[in-house]
Chain A
């Protein structure tokens, strides 16, 4: 058990954490406003990855351009889902919206399976991205560095959008009290659409990083990572942006440390460990670690 081994584990934990963070932000924004667990969020991620794959392999579009195009496509998909499946039931009970999001998730998975196939398809990023370089005792590849930078850039941008711009302030007002903000002249539909758009665009980035990590794509790729990102958002305190990011890094690092340090017979319990962590956190802090203590949440 050398230092470099633990450092390596920590690095991959941070890497995983930053992927979860990007997804968790999407969950958290939408949940904060609509009180809706959007199970389809993970599947929007998968849609984005397939889109990148198609653009790169079939149309020969360079990686960067295809990521941008795919983000646009995912935003459209996200907005369509919002308009068709979530807007009509916005005043319904929590359970109804939950079921609707599950149905959308199943719909997206099955459409992907129909258009492509249930088989895993290779997803190879250019080698200059995945080659690992040694920096002192830790080794990193370019994509890892890009992951960190991208996450940081998005977080900072999002922070400024939420605190300084009009739509950002409207979003925060809505998540605090939707009725009151409607009375103040905030257009709820605009706010909700904007949050879905941000979430969907971010999901594509996360999907790209995740698929690059796994090197394969399949229709249910996004579902379990999506669920884990939701756990992260819950642990951090859902609805709070900083909490979602912190929760994501906690989960990412805890997961990798568990995988690396626990005896090999236990490593297969990785997913279970993450969910147990969430249950334990919920027991002691029902609003998450950084969640507000106001009101009843869980």
Chain B
């Protein structure tokens, strides 16, 4: 008989990846004011952003670093549709009159923000997709600089570098995690479709893919646009979480953070986005006490600001040296659990319980 591991048991997976996270979410959704809730929301937003980053960096072979630009577009455009008329009159008087008077539900605003980012991605996609490798990274980084310059200087529309305050705080656990599930589901299905397989073929060998009838240009630009759409949605969520948006929230550092998370989690796996975001948001919380000067065995350590960033950078370097494919590699265990019927049906199948019991029994024997 094939050896069953604990992770192969549907019930165990259900418990780890569905029931426990769901329980945590429900608990903290009920107390929206707590500090941990903020961390969980940030984590969710990063999952959306990283999943879209993984789609382009990991699966299409184009190493983009322009996510901050798409986030900024998504955040500003969606904010234009949710801000109250009074705020818009004082902060963004340059908007057309109909837009100042419009206020639409959060979900639609997010979609419009995402679409705006996708449109920009299509427009700049043509020059960007002509470049390869490093050059593509630098060109997309240039996009971040250009978008920041535009935001800083179109004061009528964006209130300049002072930013827009008073964005309604619509991002809570429920809205953010609905977006997370939708994003991951779309990505999961996309990568298993003919489109996704074509994408991976293009990444592995562009010439061979072309001979099999894959149009590289449409594939690259459409992939860029899909990724930008979700980045825009993520940006919108981020803006409605911060409630004050300014160009400095969407600069190099944000792009690097997202690339960093996607590398840590593993950019060839959508589950990697989840693992990476969880590490990136939770780990600094444990490192934070070190910055304030921790008392360790009677010795008072000095206060060191930025220590958690330093540790994260060191972890990243070590990870690149020793585990280049990221923590998850190409493993999709989390998403396979989330989006397969088997997982949920296993609750009603007695043989699944027996399988789980078997795993533990075997363990005792080997001990």
Residues of A within 8 A of B (CB): 35, 37, 84-85, 88-89, 92, 94-96, 98-100, 102-104, 106-107, 110-111, 113-114, 117-118, 223, 227, 230-231, 234, 265, 268-269, 271-272, 275-276, 278-279, 282-283, 286, 296-298
Contact = CB atoms under 8 A, between A and B. Distances in A.
Contacts of B260: 99, 102-103
B134 A94 contact: yes
Interface stretch (B137-145, B193-201, B232-240, B278-286): B137-145
B131 A272 contact: no
Given A102-B259, A275-B142, 9 more contacts: A99-B263, A100-B316, A102-B256, A103-B260, A104-B317, A106-B309, A114-B305, A227-B138, A296-B132
A89 B252 CA distance: 24
Given A92-B324, A99-B260, A102-B259, A286 B313 contact: no
Given A102-B256, A104-B313, A230 B149 contact: no
Interface in B309-351: 309-310, 312-314, 316-317, 320-321, 324
Interface string B106-138: 000000000000000000000100111111011
Of B309, B313, B324, chain A has the most CB atoms within 10 Å of the CB of B313
B313 A107 contact: yes
A218 to B, nearest CB: 13
B321 A89 contact: yes
A126 B142 CA distance: 36
A186 to B, nearest CB: 24
Given A268-B153, A269-B153, A110 B317 contact: no
Contacts of B352: none
Nearest to A297: B135
Of A96, A104, A272, A286, chain B has the most CB atoms within 10 Å of the CB of A272
Nearest to A275: B142
Given A102-B259, A268-B149, A96 B324 contact: yes
Given A269-B153, A296-B132, A297-B135, A106 B313 contact: yes
A231 B79 CA distance: 33
B334 to A, nearest CB: 23
B242 to A, nearest CB: 20
A68 B59 CA distance: 47
Contacts of B312: 106
Interface of B: 57, 63, 127, 130-135, 137-139, 141-142, 145-146, 148-150, 152-153, 252, 256, 259-260, 263, 304-307, 309-310, 312-314, 316-317, 320-321, 324
Contacts of A98: 63, 134, 137
Nearest to B132: A298
Contacts, number: 120
Given A111-B310, A276-B146, A92 B320 contact: yes
Contacts of A95: 57, 63, 133, 137
Contact of B131 (A85, A223, A275, A282): A282
A234 B314 contact: no
Contacts of B256: 102, 106
A114 B138 CA distance: 28
Contacts of A35: 134
- Where chain A touches its partner, the secondary structure class is helix
Given A102-B259, A272-B146, A279-B142, A298 B131 contact: yes
A282 B321 contact: no
A98 B152 CA distance: 28
A99 B306 CA distance: 20
Given A98-B134, A100-B320, A283-B127, A110 B139 contact: no
8 shortest interchain CB distances as A-B pairs: A275-B142, A272-B149, A298-B135, A107-B313, A110-B306, A103-B316, A110-B309, A272-B146
Given A96-B320, A223-B252, A272 B310 contact: no
Nearest to B144: A275
Contacts of B252: 223
Contacts of B305: 113-114, 117-118
A39 to B, nearest CB: 9
Contacts of A85: 317, 321
A201 B156 CA distance: 45
5 contacts: A84-B317, A99-B316, A110-B306, A110-B309, A269-B150
Nearest to B61: A95
Contact of B138 (A92, A117, A234, A276): A234
Nearest to B133: A94
Contacts of A103: 260, 313-314, 316-317, 320
Nearest to A266: B153
Contacts of B321: 85, 88-89, 100
Given A92-B324, A268-B152, A279 B127 contact: yes
B135 A234 contact: yes
Nearest to B128: A279
A202 B141 CA distance: 25
Contact of A265 (B133, B153, B309): B153
A89 B292 CA distance: 34
Contacts of A104: 313, 317
B134 A275 contact: no
